[in-house]
Each structure stands twice: as C-alpha cells, then as structure tokens.
Structure 1
Amino acid sequence: MPSFDIVSEVDEVELRNAVANCKRDLDSRFDFRGVECEVDYKDNQVSLRSESDFQCNQMVEVLRTALSKRNVDPAAMEVEDKAVHSGKFFTLKVKFKQGIDTETAKKLVKEIKASKIKVVAAIQGDSVRITGKKRDDLQAVMALARNSDLGQPFQFNNFRD
C-alpha cells in the first residue's frame, strides 16, 4: 500500500545561506549605515542584535525576505514578542520549528479524518505517516496539509508505492 510521511523540517544549509544573505543585505542598506547590527546563527536559532528595537524588527523582515528567496518557508519562524535590552543593544531571538509537535500532529490527524479521505494517519514521533490504497487519496491529503492553517509548514517524504 502506498504511504508517505508528513514532516516539518527546515533545511539547515539553506537557513545558513539565508542568514549570510541577510548579513550582506544589511551591510548594503542605507538605513543601517553606521549602525552596529549583528546577525548570528547557532543551533536552529538566529540572534538579531542592534541599537534599537525598531531596527531589530527591520532585521526580522530582512531575514524573512532572505528566507523566502532561499525557498525556506518563513512560517517556520518563531520570533520573540519583545527584544531584550542590555547595555546599548537590543537582542531579538528567532527560533525555527523542527518536527511536528504532538498537539499539531493531533490537529492534523483530526483534520484528515474529518475530510473523509480513505487513508490511515498515524503519529510517529515528530512526523505523521499516511497510508492509503490509492495515490489520489494520498495526493488529496497532501493538498489538505498544504492548505491547513496550523502555523507550521509541512513537507512530504518517504513516498513508497
């Protein structure tokens, strides 16, 4: 029986490239000339540091643009509500969601069951395995997952026939 996995992963190489592009964009922007700003990436977390809260928010938008140019879905970003002020700098942390948490997986399975598509959905760790008899049913589930508004981007892998 055909099956596939629904996962939520951020490609770390593309994320690093997007951060590097963000740094280059900030170096060339007119509104950041003469301003001390820093973008660091470490352990699926980007740290944005600047002299004002407004500039930190601008840096988030530049990062979001760089991510979309590198085909990384910006919906995977979790931006802190408020920048932390210490000394003369404001620091804003941006985390990236890896894997599907249990609550989101349960909502996704519930949505799939409510659609009455003839497939079996099973939660397996941080992914959801979908099994069905027809490929068309599996493709319908893929379309349903893409269009669902669960605050997280989904990818599909391990397609077996």
Structure 2
Amino acid sequence: MASESSFDVVSKLDRQEVDNAVNQTAKEISQRYDFRGVDAAVELSGDTITMRANSAERVLAILDVLQSKLFRRGVSLKALDLGDKEPRLSGKVYAMVCPLKEGLSQEVAKKITKTIRDEGPKGVKATIQGDEVRVSSKSRDDLQAVIALLKGLDVDAALQFVNYR
C-alpha cells in the first residue's frame, strides 16, 4: 500500500432534522397541560433557535423538550450554543436564544491536531483546512486508531468523520 489514505473531521448539522425537532417541540408545548395559556413558543430562524415563555422555568422546560427531540433525531446536543443557560427577561416575556454551531472553530481544530500529534500513532499527519481537519496516513489501521482516539476526545463540537478513502 504505497498510496496514502485519509479522512476529514468535520462538524456539520442536518438542518432538516433540526427543523423537525423544533416543529415537534412546538407541537408538544402547544398540547401540554402545563403550557396552556402561557404564550410559550419555540422557533428556528436562520442559525438560531429562540424559546419564549412567561417564566424562566417554562423556558428551561421548553429547552428540555427541545433537547430530547434533538437527541431522538440523532442531532448532537453540542450543536446548541447554550451560553450561560439563563433565560433573559425582555418586557414581560422570558426568552432564551441558542445559536447553532456548525464547523470546527480554530481552537477545536488546533486541539484535534495537537491530540493526534501527541497521542496518535506515528506517521499520521493532521492538517487544518478551513473549518475541517484532514487526517492522512499510509496505514488504514492507524486512521482507525485516530478515529477511536477522537471519539473519546472531549471537544466543544459534534465530530463526524467523512471522506474516508
């Protein structure tokens, strides 16, 4: 095997699944007894999910429902940027805005390449290419070991491994 094998480490979202989870959450809070007559809402606009209700506890309950729906649809909860996880009061309505995170930030990409360099098998190269990391090696077994290493790594992004060749 003289040719190099490689794969890409990316952080991408399935927008349709996120949209479905938000719609399911909106349907559930419209039907639940504890949300009757409290003007609770959840909506997806662009890259942010906004949750509104008349109390902070209800906003956190909406967040809990949303997280369960996202998890059931296979979307990583690391894709939500919760910030300080405290609903903000604007007027008479509490609101929480959660931006969606997609793509690897420079800090996360540097952490991944450093981990591969320090703990990975010898002969494996990792390069940052925009918002993804390309990992290459002559040995496919080494690439499998790197994937196993990265699955155990605690980073602030949902990692996927694509273009394995």
TM-score (norm 1): 0.95
What letter corresponds to residue 144 of structure 2 in structure 1? Q
Aligned residues: 160
Q: Return the offset for 1:28.
A: 2.3
What letter corresponds to residue 37 of structure 2 in structure 1? G
Consecutive unaligned residues in structure 1, runs of 5 or more: none
More strand by share: 1
**8 Å contact from structure 1 (residues 53, 90) kept in 2:** yes
Match of 1:96 in 2: 100
Task: Tell me the percent identity.
Answer: 38
1:38 is aligned to 2:41: yes
Indicate which of 12, 21, 25 corresponds to 2:28. 25
Q: Return the offset for 1:116.
A: 3.6
Tell me the secondary structure at the aligned position of residue 85 of structure 1.
strand
RMSD: 1.1
Distance 1:80 1:57 in 2: 13
Distance 2:96 2:27 in 1: 19
Trace 1:6-21 onto structure 2 (pairs within 5 A): 6-21=9-24
TM-score (norm 2): 0.92
**8 Å contact from structure 1 (residues 80, 93) kept in 2:** no
Distance 1:80 1:116 in 2: 32
